[in-house]
């Protein structure tokens, strides 16, 4: 009796140990009486044995295994080193970016004066007297010479690094206002700490 595809599938599963126990018992009974079925099972087992020889021949020798393991360990060390290096690089780049940002903000704000805005002298109608921080220093205390009109309105501010400089400037200004050229200025200079 020829062996059909269903029977072949049974035999394959039986050889692979995948046939349920109940079906195995039925198969054993058939194998006892069906010679063709038994013949196919023998062929399957013979082919299986030949392939097992092939699978076993594919196993590597000790030196191949050792060589592969050494390569893998070297590659993992290299991977660890590269990962550590890129982390360091990332930290350094972030720090450099922060420093550059801080420097840029500081540089852009270096001349910015946080006091009263500069305005023109109303009687002059022209540009304001020089108003920059002449020293550009980071001295904790500065001295302002503040100019008010007769109504108490703040017109302008001149900043100095020392009280002596501020007093000298006020003295010079007073002398200039007292001269004929400054007779119509009507400005009151006052020295204050900043």
Residue ranges in contact with other proteins by CB under 8 A: 8-9, 12-13, 16, 18, 43-44, 47-48, 50-55, 57-61, 64-65, 67-69, 71-73, 75-76, 79-80
Q: Between residues 51 and 90, which has the closer beta carbon with respect to other proteins? A: 51
Left, alpha or beta for 26 (phi > 0: left; psi -120 to 50: alpha)? alpha
Q: Between residues 83 and 124, which has the closer beta carbon with respect to other proteins? A: 83
Q: How far is the CB of 11 from other proteins (least distance, A)?
A: 9
Q: How far is the CB of 18 from other proteins (least distance, A)?
A: 6
Q: Between residues 75 and 176, which has the closer beta carbon with respect to other proteins? A: 75
Q: Between residues 73 and 99, which has the closer beta carbon with respect to other proteins? A: 73
Q: How far is the CB of 69 from other proteins (least distance, A)?
A: 6
Q: Between residues 48 and 163, which has the closer beta carbon with respect to other proteins? A: 48
List the helix and strand counts (H, then E) for the chain: 5, 3
Q: How far is the CB of 13 from other proteins (least distance, A)?
A: 7
> Per-residue DSSP letters for 22-81?
HHHHHHHHHHHH-HHHHHHHHHHHHHHHHHHHHHHHTSPPHHHHHHHHHHHHHHHHHHHH
Contact in structure between 187 and 121 (CB atoms under 8 Å) = yes
Q: CA–CA separation, 94 vs 100, rounded Å?
A: 10
Q: How far is the CB of 22 from other proteins (least distance, A)?
A: 18
Q: Which candidate, 33, 32, 27, places its Cα nearest to that of 8?
A: 27
């Amino acid at each position: 009796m020829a062996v059909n595809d269903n029977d072949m599938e049974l035999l394959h599963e039986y050889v692979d140990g995948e046939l349920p126990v109940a079906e195995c018992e039925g198969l054993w009974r058939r194998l006892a009486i069906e010679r063709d079925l038994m013949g196919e099972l023998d062929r399957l087992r013979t082919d299986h044995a030949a392939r097992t020889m092939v699978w076993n021949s594919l196993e590597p020798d000790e030196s191949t295994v050792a060589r592969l393991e050494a390569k893998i360990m070297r590659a993992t060390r290299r991977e660890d080193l590269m990962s550590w290096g890129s982390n360091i690089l990332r930290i350094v780049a972030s720090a450099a970016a922060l420093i550059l940002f801080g420097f840029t903000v500081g540089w852009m704000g270096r001349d910015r004066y946080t006091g009263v805005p500069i305005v023109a002298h109303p009687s002059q109608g022209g540009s304001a007297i020089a108003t920059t921080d002449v020293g550009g220093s980071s001295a904790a205390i500065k001295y302002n010479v503040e100019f008010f009109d007769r109504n108490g309105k703040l017109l302008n501010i001149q900043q100095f690094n020392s009280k002596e400089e501020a007093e000298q400037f006020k003295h010079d200004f007073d002398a200039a206002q007292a001269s004929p050229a400054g007779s119509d200025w009507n400005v009151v200079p006052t020295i204050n700490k900043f």
